[in-house]
Structure 1
């Protein structure tokens, strides 16, 4: 079982019993969504921005405009920290103190670099789109030279990472078990509804298989 090295930076201190450094588990947490939050410092203030990403091995790709403040800041600093969280359930205890949530969260630390090579740049953009909806890259008009040149792509190598996972029921005080109060877990799931085609589509254009597969996999069941 391969794990990320534990350092002062990625060591989980609070709730350490829920920590994992397992590479496969952390990669799965990353692969189960496409939205992350990235923190950076600007004008002596901390800012956190949500952004889409794609993962290819131990590299995370993000993209933006050439003057994207967050990305230019991270490139200047040379390091980044990324956070990803899944909310899986609301844990409703008998007491206010023991209310909680079931979740899977991962925090990534890595060195950043600007993607200059045009072939890698195109591959990175495909990675981001296919991370969102697998296989959809082949259904679209791919970026032209002007669009590629107007896009800043950044690669973040995963050097260290840790995750925390809670997947259990209510942990109440024993004396509270006799109280006439309901407790339990409300499962939470992000679902996909039926796709809505644009009204100006040319006649005969059908929903791509990649979209149909995504909806079928993530529909309410």
Structure 2
């Protein structure tokens, strides 16, 4: 039976790289036979990623979904269950960041960051977990950040949202261990993605690439069902970027 894998924020950056890595592994027959459900707010980005995955031979469904909208996430999960009847993996990758001084953060910065990183991730996970609980199988990933444990002056609200994700993860594990569901927290350091904006070009040579995070994520998924990689911290070899 094909594995149903939902990836949020799949149009760019780490989510895009994870989707392509799953498709590549399937083509190379690395114990993976997925149907990818790719979600993001921008359909044109999803179409480009889906084309790459389909060219590699992986069935791919795209859905333009803003996870901050709880009705939209409910529709996403209902669509997946009506069409496929099960969910094997949820990769909570969608996220935003506003990087500036604590005293320059606006209410809009706060709302946008918390609505996606904390609220959206919480309610999507809340909808998916009972399905996996009933199946007594499944794997939920969170693409969090080292900012969930390490403070940076430029990322107060982002760090707040990621600390919140870590609280959710710790609570979710108490439920997941009772029903054979795996939960993995991936905490990357600086990765060259569109989230950095123009400043990313300045630091590109000391950052990781999205593919680095994708390969670790897919490796964790491909572990035997009896084994759960609970947490992975991945940093640039030169350490954190303090900006």
Q: What is the TM-score when the length of structure 1 is the normalising length?
A: 0.23
User: Which structure's relative contact order is higher, taking Cα pairs within 8 Å and 6+ residues apart?
Assistant: 1
Q: What is the TM-score when the length of structure 2 is the normalising length?
A: 0.22
Greater share of residues in helix = 2
Greater share of residues in strand = 1
Larger radius of gyration: 1
